[in-house]
Structure 1
Amino acid sequence: MVVSKSDVEAESQKEQIPHEHLFKVTGLSSSNLEKLAQDVAAATPADFETAIAATGYGRFNICLMLCTLPAFWSAVSVTSNVSYIFTRARCDMQLSLLDMGTVNAITYGGMISSAMIWGFLSDTLGRRRIMVWGFFFSGILEFCVSISQNFIMLLLTRFASGFLFNGPFAVLISYLAELHRTELRARVILLTSLFYTIANTTLPLLAWAILTKEWHFYIFGNSFVIHAWNLFLMATALVPLLTGLAFLCLPESPKFLMSRGRNEEALEVFKRIYTMNTGKPKSDFPVAVLVEEKSEQQARGVAALRGGWAQLAPLFRAPHVKWLVLLCTIHIGCMFGSNTLRLWYPQLAAMIGSNSNESLCAAIAPEATAPPDDESCQPIQTDMLTYLQSAIVGAGSVLTYGIGGVLVNRCGKKLVAGFSSVLSAVTIVMLPFLGTGAFTVVALVTTALALSSLCGASLSSITVDLFPTSLRVMALATFLMCGRVGTIMGTVAFPALMQYGCLPPFITIAAVLGTIGLACSIIPNTNLKKLE
């Protein structure tokens, strides 16, 4: 086809209409027309993803991450702080090894017992309210833990602390995801792994600063005593208290508000985030109307419960139920090994000593770990190097996530989960034979924990890929709950097995990790699988 010069000129004239002509036809200048186009676009209902993307990234997101740092620190503290006090509290409370394991496990028991309750409340009361009051009262309960004077009081307050803390922390993950646009969510969740590392590194340093002191304060005569370990627990209780106060400054999740039909409130939250990030007034926010996701009447009462059960029922039927059972069973074994070693390591490090060449088996022999009595019990003497070992073990996960991120993309999640679990089992088997000094034990434990953590992270990612969106949250909740069951089993079994010698506890953990490593071969391949 031949195009004449006149046709090109006519097309050019058609595209470039003079401003005067626009004004005569519409009565509006070009700038007014652009404003009209923007108004029309703003009047078009926007979904959540469009609205959160329009808020940008800036000061609000940075403030959000700064507020969540102490929340993740609290998560490590609530589950791990008692692991550091046993060197002193063992004599003060006449604790056996089984008592110590029970105290470590009872926090996870509280978490399991409240999992479903908090899931319902967070979807009913909102994210922010649960986090503010949950973290604040967790801090108060942790303070009650810190003034415990006997084993029963310590056990009951630890259970209550786990029961209450599980809610706000579980909500926190959803809250973070709901305040970032799609392409930033994965990075934000990855950043939280760094927060865990910071907590695992700094908690033993705080323990060193307080637990190495000979502090005893007598109140009401000799009936109420505050030791150094009580003060350590008090210090860790301040963090969830401050976290609850920090979340007072943050808004409700706009996604939650939209899901409840409260679009006007959600729009105000979007505008507030937009203003903080860009410095522009709220009136410049490019979205004026949000999509109606659900009416307030539909989102409440019995209808909400019926709709929720109808949505979750397929998770417990074929074909999903077999993969859920398999992944939960494997995760029980993974946490049986990983968390048992992590929670018992501070006590093992103190038994071995920082400058001793004594073997691990000599330090934890049955005669060396006999139950204490009032006359013969002596607190285990610790120094900076004892707690520095725990800090090194905690920091070891940095390499795990760095190397693991590369391996997962190249080798696949399934292979990485199985291979890292088997390697962790091999490393743990070598502990009784090669653990002939403090630094050798540190190296072996750091390697074992890094590998088992990589296995757990890979399993979590597989769970996300394997289940569709409508079932994903419940599948993850069940997956995590089963992991806590594994932690309870391991922390109680470990001291019980120690009564039979050095080899049984480590061989048992290695056997469990090796078995689940082989079981990973049954998991379906989810590499490059699109989310459903």
Structure 2
Amino acid sequence: MVVVRSEAGVTGAREEISHDHLFKVTGLSSTNLEKLAQEPEASDFEEAIAATSYGKFNIALMLCTIPAFWSSVSVTSSISYIFTRAQCDMGLSLLDMGTITAMTYGGMISSAMVWGFLSDTLGRRQIMVWGFFCSGLVEMTAAMSQNFAMLLVTRFASGFLFNGPFAVLISYLAELHRTELRARVILLTSLFYTFANTTLPLLAWAILTKDWDFSIFGDTIVIHSWNLFLFATALMPLLTGIAFLCLPESPKFLMSRGRNEEAMAVFRIIYQMNTGKPGEEFPVKVLVEEKNEQQGRGVAALRGGCAQLAPLFRPPHAKWLFLMCAIHAGCMFGSNTIRLWYPQLAAMISNDAKGLCSAIAPSATPVQVDDICVPIVTDMLTYLQSAAVGAGSVLTYSIGGALVNRCGKRLVSGFCGVASAFLIVLLPFLGTDAYAVVAMVTAALAFTSLCGASLSSTTVDLFPTSLRVMAMATFLMSGRLGTITGTVIFPALIDYGCLPPFITIGSVLAVCGLACFLVPNTTLKKLE
């Protein structure tokens, strides 16, 4: 005999289940079960950041990063513009100039691990604010340098302080943009490098071509035009530190530390600024719990830091870290060596109409006339050439930004590395006049800059949040090792003739370009 019960009977039976029975079976009352059924599904970071849309916050963020990237160029490059004036004031040789330039990068290398550890455990915003601001203060001290030793020490200190906040900035930008915008944004910020590389020589022309000399405290401190130039460039890191006071902590970092309520507050602020709607209307209501909050603060975060960083140097991350660092070191060996030495080379070429190889002959040292040092004469054209070299990356970045998602970061970086190597090798053969040198150096530096930007974006994608800044700090440290090697080796290779320095740089860039094809394809990859 089959018993058929109506749907109403079933519903009635369900409604008659007592609260006591529900509590015994589930441990929850019927009211709590109803609330549980109504709770929204937890969203991960990528869903939350995509829900904030794109608008005023992202534009304000990019505007705040302009002085940061300008600071990066000024901290590392401003010193190369003063040598034509300061070489006689301090009695500098070519090797001394290379040593001073390398010392900034030495400071960056010495602090890479410290900054990476602190930012991955304590946060992004504080590191950026205090790092940029204190770096600006040290830059002002460097501007008061009176001798070789003082300039050497202050350049090291400036590099030590500046390295951390700038490494954090790359990760910070990536963590505040959704997946499909991330690579393009990092490439766009590279245009800020172009802006800085264009305006810095113009500032140098406005100040360094003047014969300004005056004393402070009697003859204790003598201020020359190159001191004033360094003082002007020191203002930008100070401005950067103040600007980042207005920005929030990275929500991705907060989520990785179990501070989901704070992360949600940041998401709502971004959503409100971008859409104009109240923060309460933010569609994401619950975030995925990535970590216990008690483990994400203060001493607990520091204690857990070492344990978290260990995977960076073990499989599967170790091989990619080593590969990315090796490629970046070679890329910066070529790119920064040419970029940092170009102002001096341009000044030499302007005084020698026979071409590049004639200008950089081993005799290119401060001229002595009756035991009086006569500095290399520079004019507006010399600085305009440097500005043209800096501006040359605009077209390359524009094309690269359009192609990076279509062709992939691996192809873009590999092609740019090989193309820059080809141009550098041809430089001593075709650089018969100043304009040919400007054109070839501009194209070569544009390609290496795009290669470096693509590698930076790939590195951000390859490592999880808890390791990202440490990986970026190590990545940047490797590039600075390459820069130190190049800036010191370049004047030494010049003693052997015109070809050795350019053949060496071109060979290294070619190997790095080919090695880019071994890198994983991370185009449109979500952040871990």
Alignment CA distance shift 1:61-1:450 (3 Å)? closer
Counterparts of residues 141-220 of structure 1 (less than 5 Å)? 141-220=138-217
Alignment CA distance shift 1:370-1:514 (3 Å)? farther
Do structure 1's residue 488 and structure 2's residue 484 form an aligned pair?
A: yes
Q: Tell me the alpha carbon deviations over residues 59-109 of structure 1, each in whole angstroms, 9 at most, x when there is no partner.
A: 222222111111111111111110111110111111111111011111111
Q: Aligned partners of 2:118 and 2:466: how far apart in 1?
A: 19
The code of the aligned residue for 1:141 comes to: V
Alignment CA distance shift 1:179-1:429 (3 Å)? closer
Where does residue 499 of structure 1 map in the other structure? Answer: 495
The code of the aligned residue for 1:380 comes to: I
Shift of 1:304: 4.5
Aligned length: 494
1:377 match: secondary structure: strand
The code of the aligned residue for 2:488 comes to: V
Where does residue 21 of structure 1 map in the other structure? Answer: none
Shift of 1:470: 6.9
Where does residue 393 of structure 1 map in the other structure? Answer: 389
Would you say the 8 A contact 1:42–1:287 is kept in 2?
A: no
Would you say the 8 A contact 1:91–1:374 is kept in 2?
A: no
The code of the aligned residue for 1:488 comes to: I
Alignment CA distance shift 1:529-1:208 (3 Å)? closer
Do structure 1's residue 229 and structure 2's residue 229 form an aligned pair?
A: no
Alignment CA distance shift 1:461-1:164 (3 Å)? closer
Alignment CA distance shift 1:346-1:124 (3 Å)? same
Would you say the 8 A contact 1:95–1:371 is kept in 2?
A: no
Shift of 1:481: 1.8
Shift of 1:489: 0.2
Where does residue 95 of structure 2 map in the other structure? Answer: 98
The code of the aligned residue for 2:375 comes to: P
Q: Aligned partners of 2:399 and 2:377: how far apart in 1?
A: 37
Q: Tell me the alpha carbon deviations over residues 359-388 of structure 1, each in whole angstroms, 9 at most, x when there is no partner.
A: 222222122326869933112221221111
The correspondence for 1:58, drawn from 55, 76, 82, is 55
TM-score, normalisation: structure 1:
0.83
Unaligned runs of 5+ in 1: 1-36
Q: Tell me the alpha carbon deviations over residues 205-243 of structure 1, each in whole angstroms, 9 at most, x when there is no partner.
A: 111111111111111222211111111111111111111
Shift of 1:116: 1.2
Report the more deviating stretch, 152-161 or 124-133: 124-133
2:253 match: secondary structure: helix
Report the more deviating stretch, 306-315 or 477-486: 306-315
Q: Tell me the alpha carbon deviations over residues 406-452 of structure 1, each in whole angstroms, 9 at most, x when there is no partner.
A: 66667665555444434333322332232222111101211222233
The code of the aligned residue for 1:491 comes to: T
Alignment CA distance shift 1:415-1:254 (3 Å)? closer
TM-score, normalisation: structure 2:
0.84
Where does residue 335 of structure 2 map in the other structure? Answer: 338
1:261 match: secondary structure: coil
Alignment CA distance shift 1:456-1:258 (3 Å)? closer
Where does residue 107 of structure 1 map in the other structure? Answer: 104
Would you say the 8 A contact 1:342–1:449 is kept in 2?
A: yes
Would you say the 8 A contact 2:179–2:525 is kept in 1?
A: no
Do structure 1's residue 268 and structure 2's residue 265 form an aligned pair?
A: yes
2:372 match: secondary structure: coil
Where does residue 48 of structure 1 map in the other structure? Answer: 45
Would you say the 8 A contact 2:328–2:475 is kept in 1?
A: yes
Alignment CA distance shift 1:339-1:528 (3 Å)? closer
Q: Percent identity?
A: 76
Unaligned runs of 5+ in 2: 1-33
Shift of 1:305: 5.7
Do structure 1's residue 361 and structure 2's residue 361 form an aligned pair?
A: no
Q: Aligned partners of 1:371 and 1:352: how far apart in 2?
A: 15
Q: Aligned partners of 1:470 and 1:50: how far apart in 2?
A: 19
Where does residue 452 of structure 1 map in the other structure? Answer: 448
Q: Aligned partners of 1:60 and 1:469: how far apart in 2?
A: 22
Q: Aligned partners of 2:320 and 2:53: how far apart in 1?
A: 38
Would you say the 8 A contact 1:96–1:371 is kept in 2?
A: no
Task: Calculate the aligned-residue CA RMSD, in Å.
Answer: 3.2
Counterparts of residues 260-339 of structure 1 (less than 5 Å)? 260-300=257-297, 304=301, 308-318=305-315, 320-339=317-336
Shift of 1:250: 1.9
Where does residue 347 of structure 2 map in the other structure? Answer: 350
Report the more deviating stretch, 258-267 or 238-247: 258-267
Where does residue 425 of structure 2 map in the other structure? Answer: 429
